[in-house]
Structure 1
Amino acid sequence: MAKRIKADICIIGAGSGGLSVAAGAAQMGARTVLIERDEMGGDCLNTGCVPSKALIAAARHAYHMGAGAPFGIAPVKPDVDFAKVHDHVHSVIAAIAPNDSVARFEGLGVTVIKEHGRFRDSGTVIAGNAEITARRFVIATGSRPFVPPIPGLDKVPFHTNETIFSNKTCPEHLVILGAGPIGMEMAQAHRRLGARVTVLETLKAFSRDDEELSALVIARLRKEGIEILEGIKIESISGSEGKVTVTLADRREINGTHILVATGRRANVEGLDLEKAGVEYSERGIRVDERLRTTNKRIFAIGDAAGGPQFTHAAGYHAGIVIRNALFRVPAKADHSAIPHVTYTDPELAHVGLTEAEARVKGLSINVLRWHLAENDRAQAERETEGVIKVVTDNHARVLGATIAAPHAGELILPWVLAKSQALKLSAMASVVVPYPTLSEISKRAAGAYYTPTLFSTKTKMLVRFLGLFG
């Protein structure tokens, strides 16, 4: 006999967004049910953000062992034990996992059901032997790697982000399909840990980022020995375990030992019986309005499942929007104009708002401000001078967007996220007192550059001389 559960809110998917909704709702007194068929924590904890950043950290340590010559420190070739690198990555996952565990959420008062969930009708979800009715439902099923229909790919072994972190031996020659954030992060990490790496991209590397600043990162990766081929077409893939060949349309052949597919992601919407609930969707994700409601107003969709920005922090932001709507009946709307994103290469590439190209396509009258790391004392002291901050403003000095290519760009972008989200003018950034010497000074300098032509103009000099006549 089915176990009947009545809830205030039922969430399908225990990734970052689903967990945030569940934790918030339960602690606010709502009867909360959370359904997850796989691992708690979803992609971010188990196969995405956490393991990738742990691998990147290991790679950074390996790289710096051979980069000490400019400081008077003899370079040392790192002795990389890839099995121990694997253990490091998974120990980081294990350290964070308790925060996302069944035990923690049950302790918060959430009813956790480890089964596949699907809709029976517009107000009921079936999960194992449980039948859940709720006032509101949230679909937070995330996404999975998109595997392109390349002839032969389905007949050779290949990795995605879901399997690459299980490797205990370093690939001899890793061929990466896709030069977006995941592909480029994994390219540099594996190169620094000893692999030969070739990246194949049908369009342009970092095609969604500012072209000027992404070029700096691409140049750095190539300098480290990563082969990046852009604008290519893959004809076919063949081979077997440890020996794969990618044949390009111009008949060139790329021979490698491993393949990593990093060609984007697809929303997990299959198997939910969304039709029975009156929820419209496509392969891009579930259709939602500004309040993240689906075509069934009792059901919300968040994160990757909603087809929007595919970032963990975007899913967390969506969770707050849903809680306000579902529990408090506040008509909160999602605004994605100030959602930042970061690629964790070295240097990092961080962005928020409009790029220069996007602003020009919109026909906006803009100002473009730049400040180079070479003019920053902290960057000089650490010999990390390859980088730029680029800020786009309107003619009223309001921030439209910012991009940073620099060490720790993911940290440096935050004040610009605040400026964009709160419609601040550059005067707010230019007037703050920044500790010296820090990389943060580049933000103040870039903002100050907007006022430099006026501040040091002929009119200003004349005014100073005139006022000087009065003592």
Structure 2
Amino acid sequence: MKRIKTDICVIGAGSGGLSVAAGAVQMGAQVVLLEGHKMGGDCLNYGCVPSKALIAAAKHAHAMGSGAPFGVAPVDPEVNFAKAKDHVASVIAHIAPVDSQERFESLGCTVIREYGRFISPTEVQAGETVIEARRFVIATGSGPFVPPIPGIEDTPHYTNETIFDLRERPEHLIIIGGGPIGMEMAQAHRRLGCEVTVIEGAKAMGKDDPELAAVVLDTLRAEGVTIVEGQQAARVSGTEGAIKVETDGATYEGTHLLMAVGRKVNLDKLDLERGNVAHDRAVKLDDRLRSVSNKRVYAVGDCAGGLQFTHVAGYHAGIIVRSCVLGLWWAKASTRHIPWATYTDPELAHVGLSEAQAREEHGANIEIVRFPYEENDRALAEGKTKGLIKVLVVRGRPVGASIVGAHAGELIGMWAMAIANKQKMSAIAGTVLPYPTLGEINKRAAGAYFSPRLFENPTVKTVVGLVQKYLP
């Protein structure tokens, strides 16, 4: 058995683990990086990257049939589903070298391609190697959760880890789960020529602002996606090409089944009890992302519980590097300034408090301002008028913002910055932006906050009258 002593042992080479390893080793720490599966983790291989690549292919297909308002005759696209998946694979392959074993070894990391498991509070074993480290970082991410629906074990089904390997176009894809993954895949497959039925036990996109989520759902329905809400899948059966999903209210038949009901944190292989690492569905941490039971152990990303996004894992990595490498023990994690986006068309993005959360926390002090896409000149020019921005303001400061519409995932960045830096609405209103851009939607929303204060305020009118009367 080989033994290694190191400063930091990172367990898992997904986005969070790679960020910790790269930052720590380049600052001079000794780092051992463990990965028993694919470098790059879920985001590169099964999540963000392949899904957005498939969505891009679907957008090209959709554009061919939606040009009539611009004087471009619509045509039915000839979709080569296998080549669309080739595009997905090529994007992964292009990014993969950045996350590769070779790159991290060139940075100075010791990379061991084995799963790691605790054998004591100070040691982790990976294959035939025992690593003793001053600090451990658990970064094993999460995988698709497949609920124990009767019949599921005997029925062929896909998850986000397998759907991108499917090279023959499904005639009729049934998706169980109406969250972000389910809705993104529903629209992409519909635009690529599949019939699609989404079955959701509660409300589709139920974690998003209902006013803005309705814009997305209405669009998907208009494009031909069948969305069934309030019906739990009670039983599944069938074979590839002949799938049946039974709910309390009806039976739905299709050719392929995609499970998209949530995520399960990957902790099973870690033997956390032997490492004295307390956990439930995720590792139990303090606000420094450090284990509450073993002060040598930290966790990032999905393993830390809470928001399950790649950019959250990256943010967590920055907290841990500051704490473990630079000794800035006061570095703490927060979620108030973390944005997220669903990449349907139109996109839906959010940062900060929701309207319900803001009303509960701030009561009558909440002001809500809205601005529609249809009053933005760039949106009008491009025919992207479906959508709006909604900002929640308390005493002149934004505490939450939601956007539905074209490039919402890009536009939300200004509000994420404002909330992270505790800026006032005046900072947004005073920003000069190029014309015509969709970014002006943010500025106009801030303007909508100040308009009644300027144009409906009798004191302002009085002051203006005096100025006009007496100013030389």
TM-score of the two chains, using structure 1 as the length reference: 0.98
1:63-462 to structure 2, matched below 5 A, reads 63-250=62-249, 252-282=250-280, 284-294=281-291, 295-331=293-329, 332-364=331-363, 365-394=365-394, 396-457=395-456, 458-462=458-462
In the alignment, the residues of structure 1 paired with residue 122 and residue 370 of structure 2 have an alpha-carbon distance, to the nearest angstrom, of 53
In the alignment, the residues of structure 1 paired with residue 243 and residue 32 of structure 2 have an alpha-carbon distance, to the nearest angstrom, of 46
Tell me which amino acid in the other structure corresponds to 1:290.
D
SS at 2:370 equivalent = strand
Cα drift, residue 463 of structure 1: 2.1
Tell me which amino acid in the other structure corresponds to 1:285.
A
Cα drift, residue 116 of structure 1: 1.4
In the alignment, the residues of structure 2 paired with residue 30 and residue 233 of structure 1 have an alpha-carbon distance, to the nearest angstrom, of 50
In the alignment, the residues of structure 1 paired with residue 341 and residue 446 of structure 2 have an alpha-carbon distance, to the nearest angstrom, of 21
Tell me which amino acid in the other structure corresponds to 1:371.
F
In the alignment, the residues of structure 2 paired with residue 116 and residue 423 of structure 1 have an alpha-carbon distance, to the nearest angstrom, of 42
Contact preservation (8 Å) 2:12, 2:33: yes
Q: Deviations over 1:261-309 (max 9, x none)?
A: 0000010111211111110111x21101100001200010111111121
Q: Deviations over 1:22-41 (max 9, x none)?
A: 10111011110000000000
Kindly report the root-mean-square deviation, in angstroms, between the aligned alpha carbons of the 2 structures: 0.9
Cα drift, residue 460 of structure 1: 2.2
In the alignment, the residues of structure 2 paired with residue 35 and residue 233 of structure 1 have an alpha-carbon distance, to the nearest angstrom, of 39
More deviation, 271-280/456-465: 456-465
Question: Which residue does the alignment assign to 2:38?
Answer: 39
SS at 1:288 equivalent = coil
SS at 1:7 equivalent = strand
In the alignment, the residues of structure 2 paired with residue 148 and residue 276 of structure 1 have an alpha-carbon distance, to the nearest angstrom, of 28
In the alignment, the residues of structure 1 paired with residue 468 and residue 49 of structure 2 have an alpha-carbon distance, to the nearest angstrom, of 61
Q: Which runs of 4+ in 1 moved over 4 A?
A: none
Q: Deviations over 1:117-157 (max 9, x none)?
A: 11110111111111111110000000010111111111100
SS at 2:5 equivalent = strand
The runs of 5 or more residues in structure 1 that have no matched partner are none
Cα drift, residue 207 of structure 1: 1.0
Cα drift, residue 52 of structure 1: 0.2
SS at 1:277 equivalent = coil
Question: Which residue does the alignment assign to 2:2?
Answer: 3
Cα drift, residue 96 of structure 1: 0.2
Cα drift, residue 238 of structure 1: 1.0
Tell me which amino acid in the other structure corresponds to 1:5.
I
Tell me which amino acid in the other structure corresponds to 2:12.
G
In the alignment, the residues of structure 2 paired with residue 86 and residue 144 of structure 1 have an alpha-carbon distance, to the nearest angstrom, of 21
Tell me which amino acid in the other structure corresponds to 2:461.
K
In the alignment, the residues of structure 2 paired with residue 3 and residue 436 of structure 1 have an alpha-carbon distance, to the nearest angstrom, of 63
In the alignment, the residues of structure 2 paired with residue 125 and residue 107 of structure 1 have an alpha-carbon distance, to the nearest angstrom, of 23
In the alignment, the residues of structure 2 paired with residue 461 and residue 306 of structure 1 have an alpha-carbon distance, to the nearest angstrom, of 54
In the alignment, the residues of structure 2 paired with residue 386 and residue 453 of structure 1 have an alpha-carbon distance, to the nearest angstrom, of 25
In the alignment, the residues of structure 2 paired with residue 213 and residue 88 of structure 1 have an alpha-carbon distance, to the nearest angstrom, of 31
Cα drift, residue 465 of structure 1: 1.9
Cα drift, residue 241 of structure 1: 1.3
In the alignment, the residues of structure 1 paired with residue 317 and residue 430 of structure 2 have an alpha-carbon distance, to the nearest angstrom, of 34
Q: Deviations over 1:185-233 (max 9, x none)?
A: 0000000000000001111111111110111011111110001111112
SS at 1:315 equivalent = helix
In the alignment, the residues of structure 2 paired with residue 309 and residue 234 of structure 1 have an alpha-carbon distance, to the nearest angstrom, of 26
In the alignment, the residues of structure 1 paired with residue 65 and residue 240 of structure 2 have an alpha-carbon distance, to the nearest angstrom, of 32
Cα drift, residue 360 of structure 1: 1.6
Contact preservation (8 Å) 2:176, 2:233: no
Cα drift, residue 462 of structure 1: 2.6
In the alignment, the residues of structure 1 paired with residue 377 and residue 99 of structure 2 have an alpha-carbon distance, to the nearest angstrom, of 41
Cα drift, residue 423 of structure 1: 1.1
Cα drift, residue 363 of structure 1: 4.6
Tell me which amino acid in the other structure corresponds to 1:244.
I
Cα drift, residue 3 of structure 1: 1.2
The runs of 5 or more residues in structure 2 that have no matched partner are none
Cα drift, residue 461 of structure 1: 2.4
TM-score of the two chains, using structure 2 as the length reference: 0.98
